[in-house]
Amino acid sequence: MNTKELLLSVLMSGPATGYDIKKTMENEVSTLLDVSLSNLYPALNELATEGLVTFKKVEQDNRPNKKVYELTDAGRTAALRALMSGGAKHRLRSEFIFILSFAPFLPRSRVSELLDQRLAETNEVLRDLDRREAEEALQEGQRFCIGFGRAMMEAQRDYIMKHSAELLATCPDDVRELNRAGA
């Protein structure tokens, strides 16, 4: 999906300020997709010009005015069309996995560090999913996605905990051993 389609999809949940949309893109959408926020506001302006969103200017005391964006009927149709036509590919792209594929060439301390970092990150994601799940206003699709994400994170955590000793056993003890092996 392109940026404009992502913005339309985010607005399906209801009216939002540009700031709220940006936060949703940063905190939620970017955990699922690669998103570029550099053209967020120009894209919102284009959507307004195309008649897919409307906005109201809201004056604020002692703060800059803000715009609240809302889908038009045509915008909702365009968002649904984008969601219906997308390929829904699921990719596994991970620098972590790539680097660990070279574990037999890396010092055990580096591989252990990577595994520990990944476990910490996984546990942080699980805590975040717990927080999101506790929110009362979740739609069923959001609830499903949180559960799906939890299943993936728990499987990742469990796999690392069960198999890390095997991986670490393949690693040289230190850099000197690594240099001898390469010489």
> Do 44 and 64 belong to one domain?
yes
133: confidence class by pLDDT, cuts 50, 70, 90 = confident
- Choose the final residue of a domain: 57, 85, 113: 85
pLDDT of residue 112: 95
Asked if residue 153 lies in contact with residue 129, where contact means CB atoms within 8 angstroms, the answer is: yes
- Choose the final residue of a domain: 35, 62, 85: 85
| Residue range 143-171, pLDDT digits in tens | 898 899 899 999 999 999 999 999 999 99
- Helices 140-169 and 108-134, interaxial angle, to 10°? 160
Q: For residue 9, which of 165, 144, 149, 141 has the smallest C-alpha distance? A: 141
Q: For residue 69, which of 139, 19, 23 has the smallest C-alpha distance? A: 19
pLDDT of residue 183: 43
- Please give the model's pTM, rounded to 2 decimal places: 0.63
pLDDT of residue 176: 59
Half-sphere exposure of 33 (CA within 13 A, CB side): 15
User: What is the DSSP annotation of 81-137?
Assistant: HHHHH---------HHHHHHTTGGGS-HHHHHHHHHHHHHHHHHHHHHHHHHHH-TT
Q: How far apart are CA 57 and CA 66, in angstroms?
A: 6
CATH code where residue 58 lies: 1.10.10.10
pLDDT of residue 181: 55
- Choose the final residue of a domain: 85, 111, 137: 85
